Amino acid sequence: VIKCKAAVAWEAGKPLSIEEVEVAPPKAHEVRIKIIATAVCHTDAYTLSGADPEGCFPVILGHEGAGIVESVGEGVTKVKKGDTVIPLYIPQCGECKFCKNPKTNLCQKIRITQGKGVMPDGTSRFTCKGKQIYHFMGTSTFSEYTVVADISVAKIDAAAPLDKVCLLGCGISTGYGAAVNTAKVEPGSTCAVFGLGGVGLAVIMGCKIAGASRIIGIDINKDKYAKAKEFGATECISPQDSKKPIQEVLAEMTDGGVDYSFECIGNVAVMRAALEACHKGWGVSVIVGVAAAGQEIATRPFQLVTGRTWKGTAFGGWKSVDNVPKLVTEYMSKKIKVDEFVTHTLPFDKINEAFELMHSGK
C-alpha cells in the first residue's frame, strides 16, 4: 500500500480537500500509476457540483492526467513498470462489439463498474481516514498515485512533457476529434464553434487542420477572441451583440448557414441554435458539450427533414489505446498545438484555485 496526497471530494458542492490517502496495489489486469501532472476539466466540476446523476461521494476526481507506471497486476502485458502513460476515461478492450466496430470508440467492457466509482471487480483501491473512497471515470488523476484497469491506459512517448500531454486525456483530443473524426470537416468548408473554452479551441484547431476556409467562433466572453484567432478562428461574434437569434445572424453571414457547427458548452438552447445555424441540405451539427442531467434537446423536425444532421461525440471518436499515443506523436512533431492550451500551472495543493480560474473563464 502506498500512502500519498490526493484531493478528496468528501461531498457535493464543497471544495476539494488535500488528504493523505492509502492506495492499494493493483490486482489482476490493473495498473498503478504515479501521476506527474493533471489538468482540471468542466466534467470534474460538473460532478463536484452534485448535478451528475452518476456522482458518488467521497471520491477522487480527475481524468486528464499523465504519469509513470509504478507497478502492474497479474496478467498485464501492454505496459510495464517505468512506462510513460496517459490514463483513459474511455478504455479500449479490443474485444467487445463496440471495440470491434470501426464506427465507435465507446468500449463498454467496464462501463457499469466505472459508472459506480469502483474497479472492475467492484471494489475501490482508495481509502482515507478508514473510509473507502470512490474512483472517478476510471482514472482519478487528482491523486499522486492511482490505479486503473489495464484497458484504460495508453503507453506514450517517454520524451513527452507530461505537464502538457495530460491534456490529451480529454479536452484537446475531444475537440480535435469532433472536427476531424465526427464531423469529418472538408477543405474549403465554413464552420461555427459555440463556446471558446479549451474544447472549443481544439475544435477550431481541428477545423483549421482539416482545411476549413472560414471558422466563426461564438462566445459571450470577448476576452476569449484573441486566443480563438490564434488557434485559427477567422472571426468571432457574441450572441449578445444582435437582437436576432444567433442562428439567424450566422445564416445571414454565411449565405444560408454553415457547413459544420459544434456545441462545446453543454447548453441545450445553444445546441438547438447550433443545429439551426447549419445550411439546409447538408449542414452537420455536432454536440460536444455535456448537458446537465434530465435536460432534453428540441428543434422542429423540419430542420432535419430538410437535410441537416445532428450528431454527438465522446472523446472525439478516438479509439483511445490506439490513438492517444498517435496524438502525442502529432504534438511532438508540431502537427497539433498543446502548449498553447495551458494558461496556468499551479502546485497540487492549489487545486481549488485552478477550479476558480476555470469557472471565471481564465
CATH number of the domain that residue 47 is part of: 3.90.180.10
Query: What are the strands of the beta sheet with 131-133, ordered from one edge?
Result: 59-60, 2-9, 17-23, 126-128, 131-133
**CA distance linking residue 130 with residue 356, whole number of Å:** 30
Report the pLDDT value the prediction gives residue 292, as an integer from 0 to 100. 85
Q: What is the pLDDT of residue 293?
A: 84
- pLDDT at residue 269 in the model: 98
Same domain, 302 and 238: yes
Q: Mean pLDDT per segment of 10 residues, for the chain of length 362 residues? A: 98 97 98 98 92 91 98 98 98 98 98 97 98 98 98 98 98 98 98 97 98 98 97 98 98 98 97 98 97 93 98 98 98 97 96 95 86
* Residue at a domain's end among 313, 330, 345: 313
Q: pLDDT at position 139, please?
A: 98
Reported as a single tens digit per residue, the pLDDT across 170-216 is 999 999 999 999 999 999 999 999 999 999 999 999 999 999 999 99
Which structural domain, as residue segments, surrounds residue 142? Answer: 2-169+319-360
Q: Are residues 143 and 87 in the same domain?
A: yes
Count: domains in the chain:
2
Q: Are residues 151 and 278 in the same domain?
A: no
pLDDT tens digits for range 97-107: 999 999 999 99
pTM of the model: 0.96
Could you tell me if 197 and 299 lie in one domain? yes
| 258 and 137 co-located in one domain | no
Q: Cα–Cα distance between 3 and 1 in angstroms, integer?
A: 7
Question: Are both 146 and 6 inside the same structural domain?
Answer: yes
Same domain flag for 37 and 116: yes
Cβ-contact 218, 191 below 8 angstroms:
no
